[in-house]
A = this chain, B = another copy of it.
Amino acid sequence: MARVVVNVMPKAEILDPQGKAVIRALGRINVSGVSDVRQGKRFELEVDDSVSRADLENIASTLLANTVIEDYEIEVSE
């Protein structure tokens, strides 16, 4: 049994309106010094040992990320 985290972020060249909205909102709470915010998704999966790295790549690229506009990274921990 392993805990797997898949991080899905917009590709660098893709506009990120949600992140931009956070930057604009920082003025309202009087915080300066934040130069960039990007918003993506985090998935936490509980998988058993029958799930291979290839299965995880398949899950991430098929179900979790839109690989046209998003990059993903897979972190496996026991």
Contacts and interface: CB of A to CB of B under 8 A. Distances in A.
Interface of A: 1, 7-9, 19, 22, 25-26, 29, 31-51, 55, 58-59, 62-64
Contacts of A48: 33-35
A62 B27 CA distance: 12
Copies in the complex: 2
Given A31-B51, A58-B31, A46 B39 contact: no
Contact of A34 (B25, B35, B41, B47): B47
A2 B63 CA distance: 31
Contacts of A64: 22
Contacts of A46: 34-37
